[in-house]
Amino acid sequence: MLGLADRMRDFPPYPLADVPEIKRRLAAEGVDVIDLGAGDADLPPPPAAVRALLEAAAEPAMGRYGFQRGLPAFREAITRWMAERFGVEVDPYREVLPLIGSKEGIAHLALAYVNPGDATIVPDPGYQPYLGGTLLAGGVPHLVPLRPENGFLVPFGDVPREVVRRTRIVYLNYPNNPTAAIAPREYLAEAVEFCRTHGALLAYDNAYSEIAFDGYRPPSVLEIEGAREVTIEFHSLSKTYNMTGWRIGWAVGGAEAIAALARVKSFVDTGAFLAVQAAAAAALASYAEWVPGNVAAFRERRDALVDALCANGFQATRPRATMYLWVPVPGGHGSQEFARRALHEQGVVVMPGAALGAGGEGFLRLALTQGPERLREAATRLGRLL
């Protein structure tokens, strides 16, 4: 048998990797499964994006390699959107990079900056590409537990000096997956200053910047003075526009970091399908008339699930952003065991916090991926386990 690379020993199982097969088996047995695991909502994408995709796909030129330059119209749409949404002016050809979904850009970033033995600061629990990208580059992830008493923020003062000295990348994600925490502007300024002081790159995952409620408007870290020189920020159309399977997003930031990531990607891919980039440009152009209604649908789902969970014995609070609830496991049960029982005994898929890192133990992540009635039914079923 061929031996695997040593790095493979360090990879944990990817969260929910076995759920599709379990769902298939349960469905074959007649079980009505409600899936609140993956952040993959059942809502439709913008009609403008669908129309643009159909039109662009019929053009032969759109089937050619896009390479890292991609579709100029997409780059320019990103530039306009960043200016209108955040007041951040960027060069569409030096400070923007189209991605095949933000996940791949995040995962590839460490290959440009991390040498074997270098450290990265990784929130725990957190999005697994932060960890995976570090391991693929031969780096050492320093996992920082996200605690309720810290507002689920990474406390920079608690990172050991020896780790700080070796740190090449700091991964942050606010609004946060999975905890749904938000970061005050003064905290973002602290993060920028930390990276400037210690010569680290701030990789800011802003995939949930537009799914926010009750008047909250998440910022771009590029709004912070001095951030551009030490920051690369990632955006995605997956959540805001219900385009998860389309695999389209972008990175924006200092020209040096953008060029470094583009160089890595030139050896890995030849760019996203140009027709999808045309659809993404159309989606961004439809922001003002389309996104508020989509966010309202998520807000209705949030309220329905929070109320139903509280009525069934859980302690759930209303997050101000993201498409998730981060709910304590009642009775001190382990999150993995509770999630297993939820699936096999009640046909409800939830994400155990421990699957996203040891720091997530004691919590469950529930995604707002179903309509209000299905969410209420899921909460009722989960309540039967208490």
Confidence of residue 374 (pLDDT cuts 50, 70, 90): very high
Taking only the tens place, the pLDDT of each residue in 43-102 is 999 999 999 999 999 999 999 999 999 999 999 999 999 999 999 999 999 999 999 999
Which pair of structure tokens corresponds to residue 205? Answer: 């995952």
Main-chain dihedrals φ then ψ at residue 3, nearest 5 degrees = -85, 140
The pLDDT of residue 282: 98
Average pLDDT estimate for 103-109:
97
Higher-pLDDT residue of 386 and 365 is: 365
Host H or E run for residue 310: helix 287-311
- Domain residue extents for the chain: 15-44+289-383, 47-285
Q: How many CA atoms lie within 13 A of 199 on its CB side?
A: 8
Main-chain dihedrals φ then ψ at residue 254, nearest 5 degrees = -60, 145
Answer whether 84's CB lies under 8 Å from 240's CB. Answer: no
In CATH terms, 15-44+289-383 corresponds, of 3.40.50.720, 1.10.1200.10, 3.30.70.100, 3.90.1150.10, to 3.90.1150.10
The answer, yes or no, to whether residue 14 has pLDDT greater than 80, is: no
Classified as helix, coil or strand, 121 is strand
The answer, yes or no, to whether residue 167 has pLDDT greater than 70, is: yes
- DSSP strand E in 149-230: where? 167-172, 201-205
Share of the chain above pLDDT 70, in %: 99
Report strand pairing: 119-124 vs 167-172. Answer: parallel
The answer, yes or no, to whether residue 15 has pLDDT greater than 90, is: no
Report strand pairing: 363-367 vs 351-352. Answer: antiparallel
The model carries a pTM of 0.95
The pLDDT of residue 213: 98
Taking only the tens place, the pLDDT of each residue in 230-253 is 999 999 999 999 999 999 999 999
Burial class (CB in 10 A: 0-12, 13-18, 19+), 211: buried
Share of the chain above pLDDT 90, in %: 88
Answer whether 372's CB lies under 8 Å from 300's CB. Answer: yes
Host H or E run for residue 120: strand 119-124
**Three-state helix/strand/coil letters over 260-280:** HHHHHHHCCCCCCCHHHHHHH
CA–CA gap between residue 283 and residue 317 (Å, rounded): 31
User: Taking the domain 47-285, which CATH number applies?
Assistant: 3.40.640.10
Q: Which neighbouring-strand residues pair with 123?
A: 144
Taking the CA atoms of residue 235, residue 177, residue 140 and residue 271 in that order, the dihedral angle to the nearest 10 degrees is: -30
Q: Which residues fall within 8 angstroms of residue 222, CB to CB, at 6 or more apart?
A: 82, 86, 88, 90, 228, 231, 233, 252, 253
Of 136, 360, 120, 106, which is closest to residue 238 (Cα–Cα)?
Answer: 106
Host H or E run for residue 108: helix 102-113
The answer, yes or no, to whether residue 13 has pLDDT greater than 90, is: no
